[in-house]
Amino acid sequence: MNESPDVNTKKALLAAAIKVFADKGFDSATVRAICSMAKANVAAVNYHFGSKNGLYSAVLQKIFPNGEEWKANIASSTPEEELREFLRGLAFDIYERDNGLVAERWAIFLREMAKPSENLDYIVHHQVQPRANTLRTILIKILGPYASDTTLAYCGSNIWAMMLDHLLTQPILDRMTPHRPQVQDSIDEWVDHIVTFSLGGLMATKNKS
């Protein structure tokens, strides 16, 4: 069955909005530019999404789906293997999932980091917090039940920084020598390194306390 013109227009607006918001950010993106790319009337955004903000919310829901499943999806024999499984899944989520949307997803994410909009709460609640909760649970198993909140926060932040490093610095890395390969070229080797490095730091932290 062919989709109605309204459905086609809504899909076109959403696809165009993802590209424009990724390129311009929320503040600089215009409804006119989005509608022009979607070949839609400028009134179509209000008709389908209520407002520019409503369209942006729809974009975030599309590119940052609910992350609640991360609470239950990590199940391995040891905490060390749980950490490996978690980081492997996170690497796939950041660098490989939905091939056509990876660049746009994280361009929008980085723009929100640089200049947060009122919709940042959605990204934190649906994308970041579930993963942070899962990582914290694994770290407690490795560091022990008496690890302080500060220690857990520092260790979690250190691991997140390594996972996001390529996302934040790849344009610089591409211009440096010796060349460091992109994560997608050797994702398993890269994850193995992050796990080994993280466990070394976690053990040193545990032995120090």
Are residues 47 and 135 both part of a single domain? no
CA pair distance 108, 167, nearest whole angstrom:
12
Are residues 52 and 76 both part of a single domain? no
Are residues 187 and 158 both part of a single domain? yes
Tokens of 112: 């929100």
Are residues 17 and 112 both part of a single domain? no
- What pLDDT digit, counting tens, does each position of 129-178 carry? 989 999 999 999 999 999 999 999 999 999 999 999 888 888 888 899 98
Are residues 16 and 114 both part of a single domain? no
Task: Look at residue 14 in the predicted model and tell me its pLDDT.
Answer: 96
Are residues 100 and 154 both part of a single domain? yes
The residue among 151 and 61 whose pLDDT is bigger is 151
Are residues 99 and 175 both part of a single domain? yes
Are residues 77 and 53 both part of a single domain? no
CATH number for the domain harbouring residue 138: 1.10.357.10
Does the structure show a pLDDT above 80 at 69? no
Are residues 39 and 124 both part of a single domain? no
Return left, alpha or beta for 178; rule: phi > 0 is left, psi -120 to 50 is alpha, else beta.
beta
End residue of a domain, out of 43, 63, 83: 63
Are residues 168 and 127 both part of a single domain? yes
- What pLDDT digit, counting tens, does each position of 3-40 carry? 556 678 999 999 999 999 999 999 999 999 999 999 99
For the chain, what is the HEC assignment? CCCCHHHHHHHHHHHHHHHHHHHHHHHHCCHHHHHHHHCCCCCHHHHHHCCHHHHHHHHHHHHCCCCHHHHCCCCCCCHHHHHHHHHHHHHHHHHCCCHHHHHHHHHHHHHHHHCCCCCHHHHHHHHHHHHHHHHHHHHHHHHCCCCCHHHHHHHHHHHHHHHHHHHHHHHHHCCCCCCCCCHHHCHHHHHHHHHHHHHHHHHHHHHHC
CATH number for the domain harbouring residue 26: 1.10.10.60
CB atoms within 10 A of CB 12: 18
Task: Look at residue 156 in the predicted model and tell me its pLDDT.
Answer: 97
Domain hosting residue 150, numbered range: 68-208
Are residues 170 and 193 both part of a single domain? yes
